[in-house]
């Protein structure tokens, strides 16, 4: 068995979960925060049989889009700890996936 940890953008999470459950995959959704943009994103835990990994990755590819985001990060630029915001273009990926081997899966 494998566990896919998928970090996706909030905008894509709803349709992705719909498609996964429609195809009988089980999903747990966690609200998460990106360390760089400090904005909300969604982390999905998807436990699946080894041979289903490609199917799940295909569903994720179909639902998750790369987007250019302009954000204003705060930076120290002046003496005396004055913070000024500056615009920054960041390309946020469709999804970041970690695929792990599951040693044991138990349902009680
Ligand atoms: P359980 O299988 O006992 O799952 C309870 C909760 O545990 C799930 O909540 C989900 O958050 C998590 N979970 C279970 N298996 C998982 C896995 N392989 N990967 C990631 N997370 C997992 P819900 O998704 O709200 O599901 C509640 C109950 O509805 C489930 O109880 C199951 O009996 C049924 N169910 C869930 N997804 C289904 C699906 N695609 N098709 C048919 N029945 C489903
Ligand atoms: P954030 O940390 O908010 O990052 C959003 C986007 O900002 C990233 O998109 C990347 O394009 C850029 N970025 C992140 N850290 C950077 C840095 N140190 N320097 C320059 N640019 C940086 P993605 O790479 O597509 O990542 C989207 C979200 O996925 C991330 O949100 C983070 O929550 C998660 N993530 C990505 N890679 C990760 C990893 N290796 N471990 C854990 N979480 C990861």
Q: Is the CB of 38 under 6 A from ligand 1?
A: no
> What tokens appear for 76 in the block?
């120290």
Ligand nearest to the CA of 56: 1
The pTM (predicted TM-score) of the whole model is: 0.93
DSSP state of 75: E
User: Ligand 2 centre from 106 Cα, in Å?
Assistant: 32
pLDDT tier for residue 23 given thresholds of 50, 70 and 90: very high
pLDDT of residue 96: 97
Q: What percent of the chain has pLDDT over 90?
A: 75
pLDDT of residue 18: 98
What is the tens place of the pLDDT at every residue in 63-97? 999 999 888 776 656 666 666 777 888 899 899 99
For residue 28, what are the CA distances in angstroms to 6, 25, 67, 84, 86? 10, 10, 24, 38, 36
């Amino acid at each position: 068995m494998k566990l896919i940890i998928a970090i996706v953008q909030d905008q894509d999470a709803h349709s992705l979960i719909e498609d996964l459950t429609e195809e009988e995959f089980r999903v747990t959704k966690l609200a998460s925060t990106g360390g760089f943009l400090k904005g909300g994103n969604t982390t999905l835990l998807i436990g699946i049989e080894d041979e289903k990994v490609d199917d799940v990755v295909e569903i994720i590819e179909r639902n998750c889009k790369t987007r250019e985001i302009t954000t204003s990060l705060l930076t120290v630029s002046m003496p005396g700890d004055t913070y000024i915001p500056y615009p920054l273009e960041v390309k946020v990926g469709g999804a970041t996936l970690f695929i792990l081997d599951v040693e044991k899966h138990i349902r009680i």
